[in-house]
Structure 1
Amino acid sequence: MPVSTTWRNLRKICNLHIFATQKLDANQHLRRNKVEQLLADVGDSSRIGESIEISTVAFKTTLNLISNTIFYVDYANPSSNTALEFRENLQVIKEELGKANFGDLFPTLAKLDLQGIRRRMAIHSKKMMNIFDKEIDNRSELRKMNDYIPAQEFLDTLLQISEDDNEELDRNLIKHLFFDLFTAGTDTTTSTLEWAMAELLHNPKALQEVRRELQQIIGEGNVVEESNVTRLPYLQDCILHFLSYSLEKLK
């Protein structure tokens, strides 16, 4: 979406209702719960000697964090058909977005869609939009009940904004906002975590120093809380290097 009044409004809504410090603090229990699930899964794999793919577990955790923030639903739940359908469509879309597209290199060929990327994107994007429609419909019906208690997740907030001013935020904008949050949020976070782990494994001195700092300040076997990060200067330096380039210049 190009920079416009609509883009600014959506950005303002996200900043106020997702990324504001107050909202992040209120949702801290969700993040802690999903990280604990991640650690439990890694521990189970370790006990049976099974290797793990960082990208897979990172994607699962990130997807659950986003879906719980928006809908208060686990989209990584293996027993849910809706969650399975959503994950499959999201994975396909991520793969298509990551492919080299002839249309980007040769704009005159873009309309021809020679690789079928646009066609496949349209198919799977529509399926994701249908899932968003169901979530919106279900919540809208609940909101009509007399004893309904407003929830804290993003969907409920957006529906309230839409009811107050439909011209500012309609259903179509809500669905496309969800689409952007899921596609961009899962891909960037998963890639960053995978890159960070790879960098640590390729820099054993940095890995050893991170472990030493954690053992000294947090303690063996204790869970790192978000509030502890400010007490871990070396880990913070590592994170800054992950986000910039690599650990090679980290002393």
Structure 2
Amino acid sequence: MATFLLACFLLCLLLHLLLGRLLLRCSSALPLPPGPFNFPILGSLPLIGPKHHSGLARLSRRFGPIMYLKMGMRNAIVVSSPSAARIFLKTLDSHFSSRPQGIISKALAYDGRDMVFADYGLNWKLLRRISSLHLLGPKAMAGWADVRRDEVSRMLLSIRSLGESHKAVVLPNLLVRTMANVIGRIALSQRVFDEEGKEAKDFKEMVMELLVGTGTSNMGDLVPALRWLDPLGTRKKMWRIHDRFDVMLTRLLAKHAATAWERQGKPDFLDLLAADGAAGRDEEHISEETIKAFIADLFVAGTDTSAIVIEWAMAEMLRKPSILRRAQEEIEGVVGRHRLLEESDIPNLPYLQAICKETLRLHPPTPLSIPHFASEPCEAGGYRIPGKSWLLVNIWAIGRDADLWTNPLEFDPERFLSGEMARVEPNGSDFELIPFGAGRRMCAGKQMGMVMMQYSLGSLVHSFDWSLQEGAGEIDMEERPGLVLPKAVPLSALATPRLATTAYAAV
């Protein structure tokens, strides 16, 4: 009897093992997503080209909306449709909540201590909670409205002065200065740049060198064996920018500490950040490097990205003056010509909102999402996704998909006023338009970005008539690729004041 029971037990154990192996083989038999040829060491990089967003879009048209390839030695999944983006950023959100660590996260983010590049964990959750409570949430945004109004008004005065002197306005320079001063006053109670001088110019160049000069093509991150060689000089350049940023941040933080007595009873964001961090548990302690990383995030993500989108919008309207005139007529019908635009006017300006959405569709500030990182192997869309894969969402390709958008290369705000796309909002729920991403790693500054874009662009359109300089020719619409997507040639235009003198005098 004992022998019979032992034999039954061994048979059951054998069947269990065989069944387990069969299930394992079945699960591993799922195919990888289709994709292009991968060369040794370099993977598919030679097939992509220098403009990753457009090169990957071209390959996705051949291999499909979920594509597998090698970026150097790294496994990468590239997503190029709303339905595929929904699978990865909503259904499988928890699998792709972390970031791959590379030279940018080490140099800019002080070894991943910020909110953009940090792994999904306690530090990220703490920063996200504090920023939502004191900086980027609706209540906090309303509390800083006066700062935004004052800095935009200062920008308009600068433009008016240039216009009266018949001097061209280099829009991205003014916009970056304005955004940096908004962030500086909210976070540190200080204007970063008093005027457009060498310091402001150096800051813009430093940020652009960082955002444009790097991307998913850093060879040291993609081919770890080449990291020590630094063949393109990226590592050296990033640490040089880190040192320049660190000097600036150290100066700003020292000035902030020296003026603490002036803020008694009226703390700024940095005061609240430090207080919340000090009150947290030991594992939630906010170090000086964490503070620097977070402030660097604000300056980098909150200056050029907003300025880039506004510059593209103005460029598109200068190419199509009828759109500019209609926007002016809409704002004038609500605001008139005897006062400046206010943020409270924006809900009554659907055409202005449509212009902003159309710009985000055609010219997303980040054409490829900041890479997500697969924490473990999973299945998506009937395909096997290897663990530790990078996930890239091609936001640029989704916005230009001919199967999704009518005349996708045409700048047409009307598409967001009627028809199927009128319902679409860039809030992370409508995957046809996700310039800020989606899921738990969606850009925390989405609301601030939208407010600053709509308010600044509306103010520029309402306050001035715009024209190109005589003999300027057509506007160059070439992109300068990188982590962000600015115009290759900065937009320069003439501005003529169009409001009553009393409106400007009230600034």
Give the TM-score normalised by the residue count of structure 2. 0.45
Q: Which has the higher strand share?
A: 2
CA contact (8 A) 1:136 1:155 kept: no
SS at match of 1:111: coil
Q: Does 1:91 align with 2:208?
A: no
Q: Does the C-alpha gap of structure 1 residues 20 and 164 become closer, same or farther in structure 2, counting only changes over 3 Å? A: same
Q: Which has the higher helix share?
A: 1
Equivalent in the alignment of 1:6: 123
CA contact (8 A) 1:196 1:242 kept: yes
Q: Does the C-alpha gap of structure 1 residues 142 and 62 become closer, same or farther in structure 2, counting only changes over 3 Å? A: closer
5+ long unaligned stretches in structure 2: 1-117, 364-409, 415-507
Equivalent pairs: percent with the same residue?
23
CA contact (8 A) 2:210 2:241 kept: no
Equivalent in the alignment of 1:219: 336
Question: 1:180 and 1:241 mapped to 2: Cα distance?
Answer: 26
CA contact (8 A) 1:150 1:156 kept: no
Question: 1:48 and 1:187 mapped to 2: Cα distance?
Answer: 27
| Deviation of the 1:104 alpha carbon | 6.8
CA contact (8 A) 1:59 1:190 kept: yes
Tell which has more relative contact order, 1 or 2 (C-alpha 8 A, sep 6+): 2
SS at match of 2:177: helix
Q: Does 1:163 align with 2:278?
A: yes
Identify which range, 201-210 or 148-157, moves more after superposition: 148-157
User: What are the equivalent positions in structure 2 for 1:15-94 lying under 5 Å apart?
Assistant: 15-78=132-195, 84=199, 88-89=202-203, 91-94=205-208
| Deviation of the 1:77 alpha carbon | 1.9
User: What are the equivalent positions in structure 2 for 1:100-249 lying under 5 Å apart?
Assistant: 101=217, 103=219, 107=223, 108-140=225-257, 143=260, 149-165=264-280, 167=282, 168=284, 169-245=286-362, 248-249=411-412
Question: 2:263 and 2:153 mapped to 1: Cα distance?
Answer: 31
Q: Does the C-alpha gap of structure 1 residues 243 and 76 become closer, same or farther in structure 2, counting only changes over 3 Å? A: same
Aligned residue pairs, count = 246
The amino acid across from 2:202 in the alignment is E
SS at match of 1:192: helix
CA contact (8 A) 1:67 1:74 kept: yes
The amino acid across from 1:205 in the alignment is S
Q: CA RMSD in A?
A: 2.6
| Deviation of the 1:161 alpha carbon | 1.7
Question: 2:206 and 2:221 mapped to 1: Cα distance?
Answer: 22
Q: Does the C-alpha gap of structure 1 residues 148 and 18 become closer, same or farther in structure 2, counting only changes over 3 Å? A: closer
Q: Deviations over 1:196-223 (max 9, x none)?
A: 1111112222111101111211102421
SS at match of 1:211: helix
| Deviation of the 1:40 alpha carbon | 0.3
SS at match of 1:121: helix
CA contact (8 A) 2:188 2:256 kept: no
| Deviation of the 1:50 alpha carbon | 0.2
Question: 1:58 and 1:116 mapped to 2: Cα distance?
Answer: 30
| Deviation of the 1:176 alpha carbon | 0.7
5+ long unaligned stretches in structure 1: none
CA contact (8 A) 2:173 2:201 kept: no
Q: Deviations over 1:104-135 (max 9, x none)?
A: 79524343222323222212312322333344
Question: 1:140 and 1:48 mapped to 2: Cα distance?
Answer: 40
Q: Does the C-alpha gap of structure 1 residues 116 and 215 become closer, same or farther in structure 2, counting only changes over 3 Å? A: same
| Deviation of the 1:3 alpha carbon | 2.2
Q: Does the C-alpha gap of structure 1 residues 122 and 186 become closer, same or farther in structure 2, counting only changes over 3 Å? A: same
User: Which has more radius of gyration?
Assistant: 2
Q: Does 1:250 align with 2:413?
A: yes
Q: Does the C-alpha gap of structure 1 residues 140 and 96 become closer, same or farther in structure 2, counting only changes over 3 Å? A: closer
Q: Deviations over 1:32-64 (max 9, x none)?
A: 000110000000000010001111111111111
SS at match of 1:248: coil
The amino acid across from 1:98 in the alignment is V
The amino acid across from 2:213 in the alignment is K
